[in-house]
Amino acid sequence: MANQKLKMLYILELLSRESDEEHPIDAEQIMRYLEDRGLHCERKSVYSDVAVLKEYGYDILYTKAAKSGYFLASREFEAAEVRLLCDAVQAANFISPKKSGQLTEKILGLLSCWQAGEIKGQVHVENRPKSTNEEIYYHIDKLNRAIQTGCKIMVLYRRRVITDSNAVEYESREHTLSPYALIWKDDHYYLVGNNDKYDNLMSLRVDRIRKLTVLDSEPARHFSEVSPYKDYFDSADYAKTHFHMFSGTPEHIELLCRNELIEPVLDRFGESVQIRRAGEEKFCLCADAAVSEGLASWIMQFGAKIQVKSPDSLKAMVLEKAKEICSVYCI
């Protein structure tokens, strides 16, 4: 005979897994569920246990709609919130297909089986570019620990290259780093830190890390020595000012943009960026950003609709890219 003290937990388990507003569960169903688990009870005790769960704070309601019974009216996450989380997991290409499926199943467990079934039919993993690195969960855990404890790490970083035989192979390099932040940007997860060999910041894609060792006995270099941040590492500012996570020196930039670019510009720089009208058809953007290949590439995608006013280093970078394109397409 099962322990009668488990009865209330089983009732809560049943309501959590199988009940919602459209699928209430009556006392008879609850009693059968308990019987299957070796717990015999009377209808009156079911009512009493449900009352205690409600008193504790669970939002359990009774309905007499198409079918009468109890259901869990509110949960820690609503169906729409769970859908957003599932979509985010599936869209994250740094999570492997296997891990995406496992994590999605766990998230769907926050809903009733009926609600989960509806969402599951709308969320698909197939045909999405996904990482094959199954170790990313463990790497994230180690990186978090290293950042919190202020320890250096040693990583084996892998990138794809084309060989002389036209095959795609992998090239691996070992780096010793002081880790400062993990940032999700442009559908990738990045580690931002300092390579021991240099006095600046670098970004590495976490899904390309194959081996990771936390060097507990080696204190990390403080980020104030290699970045403009002094009291804390501002991940949000770093992500905003570094385009496509390319390293570069933050500078004040000024861009002359056509009016139709207001949406993509504000999407990229944020609503608080400084802009002013520059005639009837253009506006001027003033912001701080790292001058890098990433920023130049972002500007180039808009062609003649964006003109760099300053700094000169960015002008030169964009002009050089334009010349390279012209040399490829000469007719």
Give tens-digit pLDDT for 210-263: 899 999 999 999 999 999 999 999 998 898 888 777 778 889 999 999 999 999
* pTM for the predicted model, two decimal places: 0.69
How much is the average pLDDT of 160-181?
Answer: 86
The 10s digit of each residue's pLDDT in 77-125 is 998 999 999 988 888 878 888 888 899 999 999 999 999 988 887 766 5
- In sign, the C-alpha dihedral spanning 90, 93, 95, 96 is positive
What is the average per-residue pLDDT within 159-172? 80
Question: CA–CA separation, 77 vs 83, rounded Å?
Answer: 10
Residue 314 has phi, psi (to 5 degrees) of: -70, -40
- pLDDT: which is higher, 161 or 173: 173
How does DSSP classify residue 77?
Answer: S
Range list of β-strands (E), 104-187: 151-162, 168-185
Three-state DSSP class for 76?
A: coil
Q: Given phi > 0 = left and psi -120 to 50 = alpha, else beta, which region is 244?
A: left
pLDDT at 331: 66
Cα separation, 22 vs 114, whole angstroms = 9
Sign of the torsion angle spanned by Cα atoms 72, 75, 78, 83: negative
Three-class SS state of 28: helix
Query: Is residue 63 over pLDDT 70?
Result: yes
H/E segment holding residue 63: strand 60-64
Is the confidence at residue 330, as pLDDT, over 60?
Answer: yes
Beta strands in 281-325 (DSSP E): 282-291, 306-310
Partners of residue 155 on adjacent β-strands? 175, 212
Task: Output the pLDDT for position 125.
Answer: 53
User: What pLDDT score does 131 carry?
Assistant: 72
Question: What is d(CA 254, CA 99) in angstroms, rounded to the nearest whole number?
Answer: 43
Does position 49 have pLDDT exceeding 70, yes or no?
yes
Phi-psi region of 245 (alpha: psi -120 to 50; beta: other; left: phi over 0): left
Whose tokens are 């394109």? That residue is 325
State how far the Cα of 151 lies from the Cα of 177, in Å rounded to an integer.
9
